[in-house]
Amino acid sequence: VYSYAHLTLLSPISLPLDNLQLKSYLTSALSQFLGQTGLGIPIDILHLDPTSSSSSSSAWVRLPRPDLAAFSAAITAFPGISYGDEKIVLKVEAAGDYLGALVGKGEEQDIWGA
């Protein structure tokens, strides 16, 4: 019984993103917002696209369904990570209980937004 979230990492500079860095950013967001409770939320990285565009990376994660609201709130409230004078920010693009519906919604935006 899982929920899914589509995340975007926005950065003013081009930084390669890997699973370890993403996990670190998620851990920071969850611990700052929820403390030790946030660190206890198990998160699986399902897909990572480190080069979605020059200034953003995209990721799909899976987490327990009861934790989705807290996870989304933590990511939304996360002020970002300072990298020199620049700020790296996480954004929740979509979240829900059915992965197929979320993926379809993203493809719908690609079709109708073009």
Dump pLDDT digits (tens) for 82-96.
Answer: 878 888 899 999 999
From 3, 20, 11, 32, select the one nearest 99 (Cα to Cα).
Answer: 3
pLDDT in tens, 22-63: 999 999 999 999 999 899 999 999 999 876 555 678 899 999
User: What pLDDT shows up at residue 50?
Assistant: 75
Per-residue confidence band for 109, with pLDDT thresholds at 50, 70 and 90:
low
In this structure, which amino acid lies at residue 82? Answer: S
Give the Cα separation of 46 and 95 in Å (integer): 14
User: What pLDDT shows up at residue 112?
Assistant: 53
